[in-house]
Structure 1
Amino acid sequence: MLTTILAAAAPHTENPYGLQAALREGGIIAQTVFGIMVIMLFFSLYILFTKLFEQQKIMGQARRVRAGFWNSASLREGAAKLEKNSAYRQLVEDGLAAQEQHGRLTDPVEAHDWLHNSLARSEADIISQLKKGLSFLATVGSTAPFIGLFGTVIGIIRALVKIGSSGQASIDAVAGPVGEALIMTAVGLAVAVPAVLAFNWLQARNKKISEDLSAFSNDILGYLASNGAVRPVTAKAPAAKAPAAATTTTAAR
């Protein structure tokens, strides 16, 4: 079916050694390999744009947190200013819930340890959600070249069998079919390289997001463990400017 579609869409002056010719001459194996490559490429692009959207959303939330969260009178007031599905709001609400749960514990557990573990779990859940799908990009990057190579090997075998049966061993008879087979390796690399680049880029952005979340989580921990006495240094209100000393001249008596 794929061969029929390609043949119908082909121009009148079709390249005898192009991709369409390679798929047509390669048979079901070459067409299957090419189909797998197309599926890999489609899902790789889908994951790339989906994860970029999620990352941009959290980075925007981080900017809003830095802009005014710690200017609030309390954590609850600050959380109310954030979006309901904000990752930073989730950290705040989980921290407040852990503080309330600690007050109901019957066994002696250090409040700091309890809060730290609760916030760490919440942070890990957020990062785990961001990492979903990245393993597929890594899989595509590591397997696509070999899948393409498999198509190339099969194509070369078919080409050599065809050449042997025809009895022609000239360079013209060998170069064309072998060149067609090598196209599948090129397709595999064309799919793998963008997947690897996307994986590394998304991983680097996830690392930056993880560092921001970890810093915010530590700030929440310090605030809760000290009952609000400790706030981030950057959130301290600037000291009020001292009024200029009044200058009075005392008349000489």
Structure 2
Amino acid sequence: MELEAVGSAAAHTDLSIWGLFMQADLVVKSVMLGLLLASIWSWAIIVDKSMLYSRVRRQMNQFERVFWSGQSLEELYQQLSERPSMGLGTVFVAAMKEWKRSHEQNAASPIGMQSRLDKVLDVAIARESEMLEKRLGFLATVGSASPFIGLFGTVWGIMNAFTAIAAASSTNLAVVAGPIAEALFATAIGLLAAIPAVIAYNKLSADANKMISRLEGFADEFSTILSRQLEARGQR
């Protein structure tokens, strides 16, 4: 009779992915759903950031070609101010706006003007950096927390497995196969969410840092160019 009961329990255990989810209790289901939603949102961020970074790099490369081609700064400013830009173009437009505003107000102190330009460049870089790094923290959180959340679901599922052993008064694997499979499934989903998030976070963070370094390097070079023009203006 015991063998028949065990065989009946094994026969009614659906070990498919959908079956494991449906047979799990509310806690394990909540863990699985939370991890799946985190994984979906992580992939949405990964795709969005990859497209954004590609677009920003392309605009940066195009801006540098035009900027160092010898074109007039005023002409370049007029072109960029008429359309939205990102990256180096945004930093350039912000600095040129302050430059033109200071000239229109006949700023008397070159030192004060240089200080304002440097502050404007710093603020522009900070805003662009925030745009580039936005939501990357979520990937870091998913990458670090998902395995532990999945482990919590695993521990809870194993507790259910031991409860099933006690209720059935049997240590036969067929009795606990379902709860153990559910527990391991929660861990698998946790890893499924964590691994891409960690890899993407490392890659996207490195890309963002490279672009931020390009912004800072350009800001230093552009500040030097404007400083020379201030000195030439003061000598007139």
Q: TM-score range by the shorter chain?
A: 0.7 to 0.9
SS at match of 2:83: coil
Distance 2:126 2:94 in 1: 12
Instruction: Select between 101-110 and 41-50 the one with higher mean Cα deviation.
Output: 101-110
**Corresponding residue of 1:94:** 94
- Superposition CA RMSD, Å: 2.7
**Corresponding residue of 1:146:** 148
Distance 2:228 2:158 in 1: 71
How many Å apart are 1:64 and its aligned residue? 0.7
**Corresponding residue of 2:5:** none
Q: 2:27 aligns with which of 26, 29, 33?
A: 29
Say if 2:158 is the partner of 1:160: no
Cα deviations by residue, 1:95-140 (Å, 9 ceiling, x for unpaired): 1222244454688853332211210111111011111111111111
Distance 1:194 1:229 in 2: 52
How many Å apart are 1:48 and its aligned residue? 0.8
Distance 1:48 1:224 in 2: 38
Cα deviations by residue, 1:64-88 (Å, 9 ceiling, x for unpaired): 1232222244212123444822222
Shift in alpha-carbon separation, 1:161–1:98, aligned structure 2, 3 A: same
SS at match of 1:71: coil
How many Å apart are 1:201 and its aligned residue? 0.6
Task: Say which structure is richer in helix.
Answer: 2
TM-score normalised by the chain length of structure 1: 0.77
* Structure number, greater radius of gyration: 1
Aligned structure 1 segments of 4 or more residues deviating by more than 6 angstroms: none
Q: 1:177 aligns with which of 176, 179, 185?
A: 179
Q: 1:49 aligns with which of 47, 50, 54?
A: 47
Give the counterpart letter for 1:91 in structure 2: V
Cα deviations by residue, 1:155-186 (Å, 9 ceiling, x for unpaired): 11111111111010134544553233112111
TM-score normalised by the chain length of structure 2: 0.82
**Corresponding residue of 2:139:** 137
Contact 1:144 1:192 in 2 (8 A): yes
Aligned length: 218
Say if 2:77 is the partner of 1:79: yes
Give the counterpart letter for 1:98 in structure 2: E
Contact 1:34 1:184 in 2 (8 A): yes
Contact 1:111 1:225 in 2 (8 A): no
Gap regions ≥5 residues in structure 2:
1-10
Give the counterpart letter for 1:116 in structure 2: D
Contact 1:21 1:180 in 2 (8 A): no
1:102-113 equivalences under 5 Å are 102-103=102-103, 104=105, 109-113=111-115
1:239-250 equivalences under 5 Å are none
**Identity value in percent:** 29
1:233-244 equivalences under 5 Å are none
Distance 1:14 1:199 in 2: 42
Give the counterpart letter for 1:183 in structure 2: F
Distance 2:155 2:146 in 1: 14
Give the counterpart letter for 2:22 in structure 1: R
Q: Which has the higher contact order (CA 8 A, sep 6+)?
A: 2
Cα deviations by residue, 1:16-58 (Å, 9 ceiling, x for unpaired): 3343332233222222111111110111011111111111111
Contact 2:168 2:175 in 1 (8 A): no
